[in-house]
Amino acid sequence: MIGIDVLNESNAKLIISELVKSSVRYFLIAPGSRSTPLTLAASENPLAKTIVHFDERGLAFAGVGIAKASQNPVCLICTSGTAVANFYPAIIEASMSFTPLIILVADRPTELRDTGGNQSIDQVKMFGNYLRFEIDIPCSDPHLPEDFLGRAINQACYRARSSPPGPVLINVMVREPLFTPGKRRISKEDSSPLPQTNYFLTERTLREEDVMSIASDLSKYEKGVIIVGNLPPTHNLESIYSLAMKLQWPIFADCLSGVRSLGRDSSLVPFYNHLLQATYSSEKMLPDTVLYLGGHIVSKTLMKWLKTFEAKQFYHVANFSNRHDSNHQVTDRIECDPIQFCQNIGFFLKARAPSVWLSLWREYSLQIEEVLLTFFEDSLHLSEPQTVFSLLKADTETFSFFFSNSLAIRYADTFFFPKEPSAMVFGNRGVSGIDGIIASSIGVAEGSKKPLIAFIGDLAFLHDINSLALAKELSLPIIFIVLNNSGGGMFHFLPIAENRKFMDSFVATKHTIKMEGFAKAFDIPYSKPTSLSDYQTTITIALENPTLQIIEVETNADENFLFHAQIEQYVKKRMLKGKKDKQLYTTILKD
């Protein structure tokens, strides 16, 4: 009779093998006892790349980063109990950001459920609605049909990839003995291929008559705007520019859209946040219709501006069914790939002659850029916005970027508009949390196979210190730029800042921690520039030879808030005094 330990080994090998056949390559493992058969199987599969980390939360976010960068499912493996629960934040982020994850966890057998057994919790349905699919794999049993196991894994992989992509849970019950050292184990020849179900991914497409109808509607409006939200990494974004030029509409591209990575185009409106702030009250600058492509938008300024008018038509095109309409403005919802949509619509549109509408947006955008350039060149202060704006002059085409939530991602959205093509920009905007940021950065670096520049706030950095061990272990070329303003600097921009004592004590999480000690603890090179010129020199050297390192930029939250106010005042003042079309711009500001 075949022993339980041998059956455990056989089952685990078949599961891992089937995942590999389904193009899963990364297996991220948190050590544990009950999951030993699964870990052994992953470690011995020649096509499985394994990464081990002691912190389940950080491990899971690293998996999110790899999956975001590669657009392929990543498998997480852990033991039963709270180890599984530590995956929860990353599972929520993966679910909300449509990132494919395979959660492969060990569980107690049926006889130990609800008995108070050690390290035993109810793992069934524990992640609620955040999973795309969930299945219990029963304990190893020679009578268990192999076609069940194979097809269950096939279905899990399909559901992780299908629209919308997201996390799936494979809960594997394992009975002891888990593994017996020295005992005959299942050889490669003993593991026969499992029966498979091949799943074909499909894309939703519009009927030709609907495409023609939408194209006809869009062509009616001269004053339209194209907003591009968060899109998966892709290099086929030119169709968005092509459609914008045919319609003669400006593009407001989110920092996570990928569009900015193409470099500047005549329809792209850089630095739109400052321009929109200056034109909130101008009816002349309000569009008749909006074409919104993709997912989340970082800019609160853009969202606030959208609420100042009611578009005659507001199209939202995305390859998921979830509603992204917090302003309650969408009139037409189209579920299909935004890139394919632009290609299909563009085919039925006639190119318009150059329009005053697009020229107006471009003209003032260029003026805004000139004003910002002058401001930053005149300011020799090492501020947080300067750390991002300075990179516009650097050669970063071969780098990927990761911006943590709170202020860092807002700096990217406001100031990071490369003139030349650059690498992709990543962030965790599914639920915009500050947890797992270091780990997610590591995952993006691993998944993109490019050196990475990661802008991280101090609290986000402190929240994920354990993941520095993983960064050191993998020795990836990551430049961590830590913006340390001694707490939650973002809260200085919110109404709660008026109650300063309460904010400092209960909201901003004020601290006096410096990052050098952590760099020493994990043996990671560290530097702390104290001036703008010192920072620029440090960055130049880091870009020339990218290696794992931490650059801490210490700033003052109060000064940072005042610096932002100075930028806004300077922009308005200089635009009113500008020589280019001064009369027209004055009319817009005072309309």
Q: pLDDT digits over 146-157, tens only? A: 788 888 999 999
- Per the structure block, which two tokens stand in for 98? 């449509």
* Distance, CA of 291 to chain centre: 22
- Residues forming a β-bridge with 526: 550
In this prediction, residue 565 carries a pLDDT of: 83
Closest CA to 225 of 313, 304, 300, 308: 313
CA atoms of 154 and 157, how far apart (whole Å): 5
* Distance, CA of 396 to chain centre: 19
CA atoms of 61 and 90, how far apart (whole Å): 5
CA atoms of 195 and 518, how far apart (whole Å): 50
- CATH number for 208-354: choose from 1.25.40.10, 3.40.50.1220, 3.40.50.300, 3.90.1150.10: 3.40.50.1220
Same fold, 4-178 and 208-354: yes
8 A C-beta contact, residue 365 and residue 269: yes
- Residues forming a β-bridge with 478: 452
- Decide yes or no: CATH 3.20.20.70 for domain 4-178: no
How far is residue 147 from each of residues 15, 36, 297, 376, measured CA to CA in Å? 12, 24, 44, 64
E strand intervals along 344-477: 400-403, 425-426, 452-457
Residue with tokens 């578009």: 311
For 240-292, the pLDDT digits (tens) are 999 999 999 999 999 999 999 888 888 999 999 988 987 766 788 899 999 99
Hey, what's the torsion of the CAs at 292, 295, 298, 304, to 10 degrees?
A: 40
8 A C-beta contact, residue 41 and residue 9: yes
CA atoms of 591 and 586, how far apart (whole Å): 8
For the chain, the farthest-separated pair of C-alpha atoms sits apart, in whole angstroms, at 92
In this prediction, residue 182 carries a pLDDT of: 63
Q: Is 310 helix (H, G, I), strand (E, B) or coil?
A: coil
8 A C-beta contact, residue 341 and residue 215: no
Closest CA to 521 of 560, 472, 566, 558: 472
Residue with tokens 């699919």: 133
CA atoms of 244 and 267, how far apart (whole Å): 6
Q: Is 581 helix (H, G, I), strand (E, B) or coil?
A: coil
Return the CATH fold of 384-554: Rossmann fold (3.40.50)
Q: Is 257 helix (H, G, I), strand (E, B) or coil?
A: coil
Closest CA to 224 of 290, 292, 317: 290
Question: Per-domain residue ranges for the chain?
Answer: 4-178, 208-354, 384-554
Buried b (16+ CB within 10 A) or exposed e, 26-64: bbbbbebebbbbbbbbbeebeebeebbbebbbbbbbbbb
pTM of the model: 0.92
Give Cβ neighbours of residue 486 (< 8 Å, ≥ 6 apart).
458, 510, 511, 512, 556, 557
Q: Let me know the angle formed at the C-alpha of 590 by 584 and 591, rounded to the nearest 5 degrees.
A: 80
CA atoms of 140 and 174, how far apart (whole Å): 7
Residues of the chain with pLDDT under 70: 1, 182-195, 235, 280-281, 576-591
- Per the structure block, which two tokens stand in for 253? 């591209």
CA atoms of 355 and 360, how far apart (whole Å): 9
Closest CA to 563 of 400, 383, 313: 383
DSSP state of 260: G
DSSP letter for each residue of 537-566 = HHHHHHHHS--SEEEEEE--HHHHHHHHHH
